[in-house]
Amino acid sequence: MAVSTLSRHSDDKIARQAYQRRQDELYFYNKNMYEKEKYKQQAEQEQRRAEQAEAEIEKLRQQIAELLANTMA
């Protein structure tokens, strides 16, 4: 009887460890996916900002060219 009780407790411990390991795997998987998505969104925002800045620079270059053309005319 004592042997079967010890065996059962050992099996329970193994099952708990496996369950906890799976919970840990899920936690870290979800955490990594969240961080990956967050970094992807940040990269997209930075790309949009860079495009907007480039458009603004081009607009200012055109204004400078117009002003130079007007002053030389």
Instruction: Provide the residue ranges of all domains of the chain, joining segments of one domain with +.
Output: 1-73
Which pTM value belongs to this model? 0.62
CA-CA distance, 60 to 66, in Å (whole number)?
10
Q: Round to whole Å and give the CA distance between 5 and 44.
A: 58
64/73 Cα distance (integer angstroms): 14
pLDDT digits (tens, 9 = 90+) for 16-54: 999 999 999 999 999 999 999 999 999 999 999 999 999
Mean pLDDT to the nearest integer, 53-63: 98
* Higher-pLDDT residue of 38, 4: 38
